[in-house]
Every structure is written in structure tokens, then in C-alpha cells.
């Protein structure tokens, strides 16, 4: 499945139109992230595409990423990151939601993803940009193992050492 990413598409109207055009062209995987600040525009484009009959929600695969920032609990016990996921989501659920980087308190952030996964808001959870040794340690300590490790792969790059265990 070929995907369409919206990194650095900060203008909401431009992002919405770009996603609509991508869906019209045949893209079915849309990749965004909370830190890109355009998940709402992606959601608008998805809803419009469905309303126009271009696709169904089930035909799309929407993936996003949680940027690890300050963590903690709200008074009702819900984690801040879980609230970020709910607030920013592009549709009623995400097909895949990833921890964006192995920085900060990503173990606490992982708990938020596990909560949302168990609630059905996220169909799959994983990590992004985790080096192999960090991923191995991470997998030993979490309840639900990452289903995906998305990593940056530049075809013209000659630096495979970076991803060796």
C-alpha cells in the first residue's frame, strides 16, 4: 500500500486539499502526527471523501504518531497523552498509532496508547524511529508489544550501521 504523508503541511486548507487529492488519486494510507498540527485537516478531508463516495472509512488506513511531551494524570485519572489522542484524532479511530520518538518519558506515553488500544480507539499501536537496542529493551517492559516499528529509510543513504542491533 502506497502512503501519503502530510509532514510540514501546516496550512489547514492546503492539507485538507492535498489529502482529498491523494484519495482521489488512489492513495489509501494517510500518515500524519500530532506534532504536525494537521490531524484535524486530515479528518475533514477523510469525512469529505467518504461523503463524496470516493472511499469508505474501512478502505483507508490512517496512521498517526504521538510526540512524547509532558506526561501526567488528569484528576479523573486519564493520562494527558490519551486526551491528546482523543482531541486530535482524524476519524472515529486510527488504524495505527505510534510513539513518534524514543525520547522523554516514552514509557508513560506508551501506557496512553495501550489504554486507547484497549478502548478500541486505536486498531494497532507501535513505535517510530526506535533504534534496535532501544526497541528490544522497550519490548521487555511493556504490556502490549509494538505491532509496528516505523523507521526512516532513505533509499540513497549508505548508512545501514544506524539500524544494526
Please, what are the domains in the chain?
Answer: 3-163 (3.20.20.100)
Residue 72 confidence (pLDDT): 45
Residue 53's SS3 state is coil
Segments in the chain below pLDDT 50: 70-78
Residue 84 confidence (pLDDT): 53
Q: How far is CA 24 from CA 15, 46, 61, in A?
A: 14, 11, 15
Q: Which of 27, 36, 106, 117 is catalytic?
A: 36
Q: Is 36 part of the annotated catalytic residue set?
A: yes
Residue 156 confidence (pLDDT): 67
Residue 73 confidence (pLDDT): 43
- Read off φ and ψ for residue 62, nearest 5 degrees: -105, 125
Per-residue pLDDT reduced to its tens digit, 58-96:
999 999 988 876 444 433 444 555 555 555 555 678 899
Per-residue pLDDT reduced to its tens digit, 54-64:
999 999 999 99
Residues 139 and 128: their CA atoms lie apart, in Å, by 13
Residue 54 confidence (pLDDT): 97
What pTM was computed for the model?
0.81
Residue 76 confidence (pLDDT): 42
Helix-, strand-, coil-residue percentages of the chain, each rounded to 5: 40, 15, 40
Amino acid at each position: 500500500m502506497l502512503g501519503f504523508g502530510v509532514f510540514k503541511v501546516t496550512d489547514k486548507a492546503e492539507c485538507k486539499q492535498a489529502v482529498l487529492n491523494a484519495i482521489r488519486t488512489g492513495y489509501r494510507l494517510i500518515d500524519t502526527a500530532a506534532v504536525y498540527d494537521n490531524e484535524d485537516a486530515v479528518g475533514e478531508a477523510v469525512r469529505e471523501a467518504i461523503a463524496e463516495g470516493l472511499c469508505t472509512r474501512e478502505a483507508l488506513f490512517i496512521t498517526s504518531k504521538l510526540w512524547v511531551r509532558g506526561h501526567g494524570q488528569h484528576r479523573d485519572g486519564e493520562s494527558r497523552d490519551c486526551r491528546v489522542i482523543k482531541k486530535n484524532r482524524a476519524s472515529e479511530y486510527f488504524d495505527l498509532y505510534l510513539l513518534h520518538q524514543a525520547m522523554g518519558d516514552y514509557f508513560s506515553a506508551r501506557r496512553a496508547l495501550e489504554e486507547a488500544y484497549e478502548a478500541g480507539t486505536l486498531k494497532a499501536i507501535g513505535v517510530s524511529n526506535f533504534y534496535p537496542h532501544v526497541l528490544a529493551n522497550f519490548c521487555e517492559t511493556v504490556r502490549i508489544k509494538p505491532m509496528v516499528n516505523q523507521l526512516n529509510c532513505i533509499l540513497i543513504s549508505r548508512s545501514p550501521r544506524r539500524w544494526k542491533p
